[in-house]
Amino acid sequence: MRVIGLDVHRTFAEVVLLEDGQCRSAGRVELTAERLEAFGGRLLPTDEVVLEATGNTAAIVRSLRSHVAQVVIANPLQVRAIAHARVKTDKIDAAILAQLHASGFLPTVWMPDQGTEALRRQVSRRTQLVRQRTRLKNEIHSVLHAHLIPRCPFTDLFGRKGRAWLAEQPLPPDERCGVEQRLRECDRHGEDLAVIDRALAQATLQDPRVHRLLTIPGVNVTVAISLIAAIGEIGRFPSAQKLVSYAGFRLMGPTRFRQLGTT
């Protein structure tokens, strides 16, 4: 068996080949779909490829997976803790990955399927929109505070009644312009959120895991979908405790964990 170590950068990957206990440089491969496909065609079906998790890992894995026996993704933080080299070069880093994998000491991470990847991207976009909208709302509150305007008498400053009250407040023309601009941005983010929420709901409508999570008090559809996206394949966790440690929450006990993993 040969092990192919890749030290991945933004536009290229340094390649090292480990065979019969010996490492040798195999040059570089450009990280484009065409060049990766050509590189994969030169590999053997029995080869195993190893690379660290980074921003373009998923695309590289998809390009090479069909050409080799296995593509392994290393945990970069744990690799650095295990193998600290005094001299660091791209070739040495690629060789370390290959050697750790061949010796069975490589700390790996799970590669999500394409459906989970897409779900994670949508959840991430939703989170960014919520943060941006929250920032804009806080800026509007800061403007009111700076001009000694009392608290809005309505529950939601950004609802219909709250906005009518806001329009009546005495603000300098430049501040009024800034508030209105932020309100328009909030509305645009709200529209984008609605589109993402519909897409997420449609993508997970028939997912039994979401329905099981919704039986937990305090878990709504958004939280359930976010958990599914973060967890991915629940069968990769050997116990509820491992799942809790990974996800960082305590709301799911062993019984609920077993139910979530059933079909």
Q: What is the pLDDT of residues 24-51, one digit of tens each?
A: 999 999 999 999 999 999 999 999 999 9
Let me know if residue 187 belongs to a domain: yes
Domain boundary among 103, 134, 158: 103
Whether 258 has a pLDDT exceeding 60, the answer reads: no
Let me know if residue 67 belongs to a domain: yes
| Claim to verify: residue 132 and residue 213 sit in the same structural domain | yes
Mean pLDDT to the nearest integer, 94-109 = 89
| Claim to verify: residue 46 and residue 122 sit in the same structural domain | no
Domain that holds residue 19: 3-103
Mean pLDDT to the nearest integer, 60-67 = 94
Determine the Cα–Cα distance for residues 6 and 9; give it in Å rounded to an integer.
Answer: 9
Number of domains in the chain: 2
Let me know if residue 258 belongs to a domain: no
> Within a 13 Å sphere around the CA of 77, how many CA atoms are in the beta-carbon half?
1
Whether 63 has a pLDDT exceeding 60, the answer reads: yes
Determine the Cα–Cα distance for residues 21 and 206; give it in Å rounded to an integer.
Answer: 49
What pLDDT does 141 receive?
97
| Claim to verify: residue 228 and residue 131 sit in the same structural domain | yes
Single-letter residue type at 150 = P
Q: Higher confidence at residue 82 or residue 252? A: 82
| Claim to verify: residue 140 and residue 98 sit in the same structural domain | no
| Claim to verify: residue 131 and residue 176 sit in the same structural domain | yes
Let me know if residue 246 belongs to a domain: no
What pLDDT does 251 receive?
47
| Claim to verify: residue 128 and residue 63 sit in the same structural domain | no
Pairing of strands 12-19, 22-30: antiparallel
**Single pTM value for the model:** 0.74
| Claim to verify: residue 178 and residue 131 sit in the same structural domain | yes
Let me know if residue 263 belongs to a domain: no
| Claim to verify: residue 205 and residue 135 sit in the same structural domain | yes
**Which CATH number is 94's domain given?**
3.30.420.40
Whether 189 has a pLDDT exceeding 50, the answer reads: yes
Domain boundary among 48, 79, 103: 103
What pLDDT does 250 receive?
46
Mean pLDDT to the nearest integer, 160-177 = 96
| Claim to verify: residue 62 and residue 92 sit in the same structural domain | yes
Look at residues 37, 90, 26 and name the one whose alpha carbon lies nearest to residue 59.
37
What DSSP assignment string belongs to 65-127? TTTSSEEEEE-HHHHHHH---SS--HHHHHHHHHHHHHHT---B-----HHHHHHHHHHHHHH
Residues 209 and 232 sit within 8 Å (Cβ to Cβ) = no
Mean pLDDT to the nearest integer, 114-140 = 94
| Claim to verify: residue 125 and residue 209 sit in the same structural domain | yes
At 86, is the pLDDT very low, low, confident or very high (cuts 50, 70, 90)? low
Q: What is the pLDDT of residues 105-123, one digit of tens each?
A: 898 888 888 889 999 999 9
Let me know if residue 260 belongs to a domain: no
> Mean pLDDT, the chain, as a whole number?
89
Q: What is the pLDDT of residues 194-214, one digit of tens each?
A: 999 999 988 888 889 899 889
| Claim to verify: residue 89 and residue 124 sit in the same structural domain | no
| Claim to verify: residue 32 and residue 62 sit in the same structural domain | yes
Let me know if residue 241 belongs to a domain: no
Whether 254 has a pLDDT exceeding 80, the answer reads: no
At 88, is the pLDDT very low, low, confident or very high (cuts 50, 70, 90)? low
Whether 177 has a pLDDT exceeding 90, the answer reads: yes
Q: What percent of the chain has pLDDT over 90?
A: 61
Let me know if residue 122 belongs to a domain: yes
- State residue 198 phi and psi, 5-degree precision: -65, -40
